Amino acid sequence: MSEFKLRPAQQDILAYSGGRMAVSAVPGSGKTFTLALLAAQLIADGRIDSAANQQVLIVTYMNASVDTFKARIRRQLDEMGLPPVGFDVRTQHSLALEIVRLAHSTIGEERDLPNVIDEVQANHVLSLATDSFIEEHPDLWAGFLSEDSPQLRSRWRSISQETARSFISAAKNSRYQPEEILQQLRRQQAVDTERDHQFPEQKAAAAHSPLLYMMAEIYHRYQSLLVRQAAHDFDDLIWQATHLLEQRPQFAASLRQQWPYVLEDEAQDSVPLQELLIQRLTGENGNWVRVGDPNQAITSTFTAAHPRFFNLFIDRADVISKPLPNSGRCAPIIYGAANHLLDWVIDKHPVPEVRQLAFRRQHILPTPPGDAQPNPLDSESDIRIKVYKHREDEELPAIAKLAMRYALKRPDHTLAILVPTNRIGYEMATYLDKLDADYDNLLRGGSREKEIAAAIYAMLSLLASPLSSKALVAAHASLHELGHPSVSLPITDLKRLQAILRSVHRPESLLFPNSQQEFAEALPAGIADQKEIDHLEQFVTFLQRIFKLRHLPIDDLVLALGEELFAWDEINELDLSVAFQLASILRRWRDMQPDWRLPELAAELGDVASGRRRLPLTAPTELGYEPKAGRITLATQHSAKGLEWDAVFLLGIDGFWIPGSLEAPFLGVHEFLGGDPTAEATAQLKYLMEGDAGLAAGLGATETSHIEVICERLRLLYVGISRARRYLHLSRSRASGQNHAVRDSEPATVLGVLYQFRQARRGQLVSQAPR
């Protein structure tokens, strides 16, 4: 066993020998370490028969976590003098795929594994399904619009697809096929005989609930397209694996022999179908340990996950409940603020449903004396709260300067600016750029991702059209924007140089000259000076290297381009990771459209570069990102989960981001639709199929969803506070927006609560100081 001194709560968890156990772990409590140690302990105690190929199964939610768990379990087994066997670590999706594979192999079927499409492909299929419905039912679709304008139509088209995505996920997590929903809609409509006389069967179903009918039809079309391609999305895969375990009890029993213990990480983020899968896998009396923190559940407003599922598991009579309350991450004043937030919400929040649903009462406690991770001292820590007049004019530039100043003053510290939304993050990035700040941009769909897509698009376009002087100029402009070494030789006038490139009538002579003379003759006569000629020779030499890659398959081509464009600078690791993901996405586009060649693939990527299309790229935080000392991290509050910094700047904490009541304005509400279509459609589905819409007493679907918005935003604030070790800076502005779109921002009640806590706490520290 390691010499590491375990905390009493960790020792209590390691005493587990079997059955169902729930571990509710506070931020920074070492849950990954504890879960890995428990897996090693079960193996060391002889509860796993490696000779019979038994394994402890660890289930997690991110690919990066798989490698982390494997490394930690191997290390623990090595310290115990045991071989690195007896465990398996999988994501939910790889587990489901393995179950399907094993199910086919046990009955001797030579069947290919399911063709599981990723998020990019699923978005493409959903887009086709949405367009198909709109084309066939233009009047029904347009009937939701208060006015018929191109801008409103474009907005409603995007909302329709996003609403359908959430609707389909909710339906699949309840295991409702589209045909069942449409049939139930028609059955429900048949009850109303008056409408039966007025409408044909299908139109009657639509008239009963136009939004629900539209979503069910899009779901039907989406699923039909998947079936036509013999494809599954991730929800289908989990559903199929669960169904196999239910229908084949002997097969399920054999898996329980193979994996007699199942340890689940991040249980607060599990959706109902994923929870059901592991429930069927472990059986009625199986060994199942779930570890998570319901107070850090921050995906319930855009996925089927909800903290109530894990809370219900924790409170079950047949479940042993163990806390993991000690954390050495934060100074007492900072974890005290997190605890104070939690208590105020549970005891005093003005919305009763928020008091009941937002948090589970579990305080962050300091580590015990002599712990290997002592809490930072309050004497070296602080909380600051600042109110600015205007976000864009004052708050954003001020926070950028404060973060820069902190990094320069404490180069050995890590620090982060955490923003509410990507859009605010993009604005913050412009201020950091103006200051020439060293920072890592972890925002999704940000300007840097577009720049990377634009650089690869420019190279692909040139490879697809090597005789185009326009493509030649675009390639040069892109390399110049990147600061690439191939365009580093000094020139007097960039616009003049690009004008020279546009004037090249035979680009092939410039790119592939037979002699130095032919190269010179390819340029406009007597215009380019020697510096410009030297610069262009350097540029062309690089392009000649690029053209040698043209024969590669699209994914290998983009990988190679990524290395040529970004690997020359060691600080561009994040850029390189985005390029690698783009390579995978382009390959999948090619698989979906086998007749596409380089011009078509480049054109698709061009939509990303121009901002017309966004890609669901994996966030750096999901790829094992580690903050660097002296370098600012720019990220959303959502993507900060799982990370920590010495200093954290949380901005935009106003009443629009964290509404204090149900009467406040909410994001996601569309006036022309009369509410939140996602909430309305999901509630209508639940009522149709179960007779209960799951709404709060006396409230509609939109208002009920707003309760969850408030709850999740408060949990996001809790997560943000608990990322800071030593310094926490909270800020808001009284107004935001520019020109004619300036909006006054109400204060967030909770920020005043935290200010009062800070003042009281600082007063205590002053009174306790030696005189």
Q: Are 208 and 195 in contact (CB under 8 A)?
A: yes
Token pair listed for 459: 């190279």
**In this predicted structure, which of 133-142, 389-398, 567-576, 643-652 has the lowest mean pLDDT?**
567-576
Q: Reduced to 3 states, what is the DSSP secondary structure of residue 57?
A: strand
Whether the per-residue pLDDT at 566 is higher than 70: the answer is: yes
- pLDDT tens, position by position, 185-220: 988 877 654 555 555 554 444 445 899 999 999 999
Token pair listed for 733: 């502005």
Beta pairing class for 231-232 and 724-736? unpaired
- pLDDT tens, position by position, 275-333: 999 999 999 999 999 999 999 998 877 777 889 999 999 999 999 999 999 999 999 99
Q: Alpha-carbon distance 379 to 332, whole Å?
A: 10
Between 64 and 386, the more confident residue is 386
pLDDT at residue number 202: 47
Q: Which of 712, 721, 718, 752 is nearest to 358 (CA)?
A: 712
Q: Rounded to the nearest 10 degrees, how much is the dihedral formed by the CA atoms of 755, 757, 762, 765? A: -170
Between 503 and 38, the more confident residue is 38
Whether the per-residue pLDDT at 504 is higher than 90: the answer is: no
Own/partner pairs, 350-356, CB within 8 angstroms, 24+ separation: 350/660, 350/661, 350/749, 351/661, 351/662, 351/707, 351/710, 353/696, 353/707, 354/707, 354/710, 354/711, 354/714
Q: Are 419 and 636 in contact (CB under 8 A)?
A: yes
Beta pairing class for 415-419 and 632-636? parallel
Mean pLDDT for all residues in the chain: 88
Q: Reduced to 3 states, what is the DSSP secondary structure of residue 283?
A: coil
Q: Are 240 and 96 in contact (CB under 8 A)?
A: yes
Burial of 581 (0-12, 13-18, 19+ CB in 10 A): buried
Whether the per-residue pLDDT at 3 is higher than 90: the answer is: no
Q: Reduced to 3 states, what is the DSSP secondary structure of residue 400?
A: helix
Whether the per-residue pLDDT at 371 is higher than 90: the answer is: yes
pLDDT at residue number 621: 56
Q: Are 631 and 440 in contact (CB under 8 A)?
A: yes
Tell me what the mean pLDDT of segment 393-400 comes to: 96
Q: Are 208 and 192 in contact (CB under 8 A)?
A: yes
Token pair listed for 712: 């999740």
Best-predicted range by mean pLDDT among 123-132, 501-510, 603-612? 123-132
- pLDDT tens, position by position, 642-663: 899 999 999 999 998 999 998 8
pLDDT at residue number 613: 65
pLDDT at residue number 177: 97
pTM score, two decimals?
Answer: 0.82
Tell me what the mean pLDDT of segment 723-739 comes to: 92
